[in-house]
Amino acid sequence: MKHPSLLPKKAGAKTIDPKTFTGEIDLREEFDKLILGIGEKIRHGHPMILRRMRRQENGEPVFCTCSVNDPHRQGKRDCVYCQGEGFLWDEEWHIGYAMYTSSEGGKSDTYVRMPSGNIKGNYKLFFLRYDVGIKYGDKIVEVRLDEEGKVQLSSTKNSFIRKEVHKPQTIAEMRSDNGRLEYYAVYCRAEDAIRNTNPNE
């Protein structure tokens, strides 16, 4: 018995016969539509910052002057250059999507949604575009957004507010046909996040 579709039909919409459909879904294109809102789609992603560590030719991060002068190579929280990272970095804007996940059952169970009420915020999962090229040692910085999803500016500094800094634990390269990289799924431990607790910003 064939069940009727519960989805509303658009006027003039063409139906696709699954027996004759030979095309394949382009996951990169679908990611851009869903997360970035390319075309006439609604953007489901939000602005975030990728903090890239500056690296030497051998790939090692470049130490900040505050950590070079420290016997334990620890960065200073009030350093105007690295803000406590201990390494020099550059930041760039990206649009991505974030969600809380549970670590129970390993990575295969992270997509299971939790029931209403308590949320197990063990991991935060970020979805990023295929060409972002995130590496271990880089950081994902969430900024403060207003109710409409626009970047909120500080009233005192007239700049955006860094809300949380996340360190990637697992960078999963999500690949599809022929091994092509379609998007990144970046797992970060929520309890390791550095949070801005300044109420004046």
DSSP line for 105-131: TSGGGTTPPPPSS----SEEEEEEETT
Whether 177 maps to a domain, the answer reads yes
pLDDT tens, position by position, 4-57: 554 455 555 556 566 555 567 889 999 999 999 987 778 999 999 999 999 999
Between β-strands 139-143 and 123-129, what pairing exists: parallel, antiparallel or unpaired? unpaired
Question: 83: closest CA among 199, 197, 194, 201?
Answer: 194
Whether 89 maps to a domain, the answer reads no
Q: Rounded to whole angstroms, what are the CA distances from 112 to 42, 98, 173?
A: 24, 14, 20
pLDDT tens, position by position, 58-80: 988 899 989 887 777 788 888 88
Query: Span 131-148, mean pLDDT?
Result: 92
pTM, 2 dp:
0.75
**Could you give the number of structural domains in the chain?**
1
pLDDT attached to residue 104: 57
pLDDT attached to residue 190: 78
The whole-chain average pLDDT of the chain stands at: 81
Whether 188 maps to a domain, the answer reads yes
Whether 54 maps to a domain, the answer reads no
Tokens of 172: 């999963």
Whether 91 maps to a domain, the answer reads no
Q: Which domain holds residue 155?
A: 27-46+96-195
With a pLDDT cut of 70, the percent of the chain lying above it is: 77
Whether 115 maps to a domain, the answer reads yes
Whether 69 maps to a domain, the answer reads no
CA gap 127, 184 in Å, rounded: 6
